[in-house]
Structure 1
Amino acid sequence: MKAQSLRTLIVIALIVLWEALPRSGLVPELFLPSLSSTLAAGWTDAGEYGHALLTTLYEVAIAMLFACGGGILLGAIVGSLPRPRILIMPIVSSLYAVPLVILYPVFTVWFGIGAESKIAFAAIYGFLPTMLATAAGIQTIDPQLLLAARSMGATMSQRLVRVVLPAAIPTVLSGLRVGGALVIVGVVVSEMLISSAGIGYLISRYRTVLDSPHVFAGVLLVLALAIVFNAAIRLLERKAAIWQTGTRGAARDVASPALQPAT
C-alpha cells in the first residue's frame, strides 16, 4: 500500500511539473509544451488522432500475433529439442544484439511503404526476445519432473499442460512483455521513418513544423497504448499465477511416485 501511494505521488508530481515548468517559463514551450496545451491540441484534432490510432492499433495487433505467437511456438520447439537449440539459439542471440532498425529500408524494398513493411519490421523486432525467453523458460524445467511424468505414462499433452507450461509461464510472460513492447516501438518508429498514416506519422509530421503540443499529444497516445498493454500482461500474470499454483501440485503428484523408489 505504501509503494502504491508513493507511485501515485510521483505521477502527480510529474503532472504538476509538466504543467508548471512551461507555464512559468523555466522550460521553453517549444521543448516541452504544458500538459493543458498538449491535451487541448489532441482534443481539437481528436478525429485525426483517432484515425491514426486505429491504423497503429491494426499494425500492432497483426505484428503482435506474428511476433508473440510465433516466438512462443518456435521458442517451445527450440527449447525442447537439443539439436535445434544448439543450431538456432546462437544465431538468434546474435541477431538480437543487432539494432534491427538499420534493416527497415530492406523491409520497405520488400513490402513497400504501406502497412505491410511496418507489420513485418515490428514482428521481427518483437519475435526475437519472445522466442529467446520461451526457449530459456523451457530449459529451466526440472528434467526429473519430465522423466517422472513420462515414466508414469503421461501423454505429451498431459506433460505439456501439467509440467511444461506451469514451469515456463513466468519466463514466457516476461518475454511476452518485452516482445510486445518492442512491437509497439517498432510500429511507431517505422511510421515515423516512412509512412503516411499512424501515430508515428503524425508525430513526425508535426515535428517538422515545430508544433510541439501536437507532437506530445501523439507521444501521450503511444504512452497510453504501452500502459494498456502492460496492464493486460499484469492481468495475464495474475491469472497464470493462480493456474500455475493449481497445476504445480498436480505436477508434484505425478513426479512423487516415480521418484519415491530412488529416495
Structure 2
Amino acid sequence: MTTRAGVYEADEFAPGRPSAAAAAHAAAEARRHQVLMALRVLVGVVFLAFWEFASDRLIDAFFVSSPVAVGGRLWQWLSDGTLFYHLSFTLTATGLGFLLGSLIGFTIGFALGRSNDLATIFDPYITAIYCLPKIALAPLFIMWFGIGIESKVAVSAVIVFFLVFLNTYAGVRDVNPVHIHATRIMGAGEWQLLRKVILPSAAAWVFTGLKVSVPYALIGAVVGEFMSSNRGVGFLIAQSSAMFDTASTFAGLVVLAVVGAAINGGLKRLERHVLRWRA
C-alpha cells in the first residue's frame, strides 16, 4: 500500500506473500519437528543403553543377548554376504506376494464395490475364506507349490489380498452418491466418473490397506520360510533359535523390523504424492 509520504510499503496480506504470522507459525512447526526427531532418536538410544546395561546384570544374556552382540552378528553377516543372500530371497517373496495380493485384492474389491449383484453372490464365500487362519493355509501351499519361493509368495499374497480387498471394497462403497449423480448430470461418462470421482475418493482407503498389508506380506513370507526353506531371513531365525543362538535370532528380527519400516515409509511418501490434492 502507499503511505501519505508516497512511499510504497508491501502489504502484509498481499496475495502470494506469506504473512508474518504464517512465517512465524512455519518456523515454530520446523522447530517442533526438530525437537520431535531428537526425542525419537533419544528414545532409541535410551532403549539400547538400558538393554546393554541389563544384559547379564538384570537378565541373563542367554535370553536377551545384547546390542553389541547383535550388532556384531549383523556386521558378520554383512561382511560375508550372508545377509544379502538370505534377505534377497525374503524380499523377493515379500514383493511378489505383495504385488500379486494387492493387484487381485484391488481388482476384486473394486468390481464388487461397484456391483451390488456381484457383492451379493460372492460375499458369503469371501467371508468364509477370510475367516480361515491364513497361516493354516501354509502347509497346503507347500503341498501345492513345493518348498521353493512359490509357496512363500502364495502365503504372502493371500494375506495381502484380504486386507487390500476389504479396504478397496469399503472405499468404493463409501463414495458420496451425491458426487456421482452430480458428475453424471454434468455429462461425464463411466470412465470419467471412475477417474475423477471414484478412484480419488477410494484412494485413501486403498493406501490404508496397502500400508497395513506391508508387514503382513513380510510375515507371510517369513512364516513360509519357518515351515520349509533353506534360504531367507525366516530360515536364519529358525536355524538360530534351534541352535539357541540368541544374538543371531535378535539380528534376524532387527533386519525384519528395519525392512518393514523402510517399505512402510516408502508407501507413506507415495501416498503423500498421490493424494497431494487433498491438501
The TM-score normalised by the length of structure 1 is 0.87
Partner of 2:169: 135
Letter of the 2:133 counterpart: P
Q: Counterpart of 1:191 in structure 2: which amino acid?
A: E
Q: Does 1:68 align with 2:105?
A: no
**In the TM superposition, what whole-angstrom CA distance separates every residue of 1:184-237 from its partner, at most 9, and x where no partner exists?**
110011101111100000110111111111111111110011101110121122
**SS of residue paired to 2:97:** helix
Which runs of structure 1 show a deviation greater than 6 angstroms over 4 or more consecutive aligned residues? none
Deviation, structure 1 residue 152: 1.6
Structure 2 matches for 1:4-43, cutoff 5 A? Answer: 4-22=37-55, 24-43=56-75
Give yes or no for the alignment of 1:110 onto 2:138: no
Match status 1:99 vs 2:133: yes
User: Helix, strand or coil for the counterpart of 1:154?
Assistant: coil
2: CA distance, partners of 1:12 / 1:92: 46
Q: Which has the higher contact order (CA 8 A, sep 6+)?
A: 1
More helix by share: 1
Q: TM-score, normalised by structure 2?
A: 0.83
Deviation for aligned residue 1:87? 2.5
2:184 counterpart of 1:150: yes
What is residue 24 of structure 2 aligned with on the other side?
none
Structure 2 residue 130 is matched with structure 1 residue 82: no
* Identity level (%): 30
C-alpha contact 1:31 1:212 (8 A) present in aligned 2 = yes
Q: Which residue identity is paired with 1:103?
A: L
After the TM superposition, which residues 226-241 of structure 1 pair with which residues of structure 2 at under 5 Å, given as runs? 226-241=260-275
Deviation of residue 97 (structure 1)?
Answer: 3.1
Point out where structure 1 has 5 or more consecutive residues left out of the alignment.
246-263
CA 1:216–1:19: 2 relative to 1, 3 Å = same
Is the deviation greater in 104-113 or in 79-88?
A: 79-88
Asked if 1:195 corresponds to 2:225, the answer is: no
Aligned counterparts, 1:35-54, within 5 A = 35-46=67-78, 47-54=81-88
Report the CA distance shift for 1:90/1:17 in structure 2 as closer, same or farther (over 3 A): farther
CA distance in 2, matches of 1:20, 1:93: 49
Taking only aligned residues, the RMSD between alpha carbons, in angstroms, comes to 1.6
Q: Deviations over 1:33-75 (max 9, x none)?
A: 1111101012112211110001111111111110112111211
Report deviation, 1:155.
Answer: 2.1
Structure 2: gaps of 5 or more residues:
1-31
User: What is the alpha-carbon distance in structure 2 between the residues aligned to residue 213 and residue 25 of structure 1?
Assistant: 17
Equivalenced residue count is 244
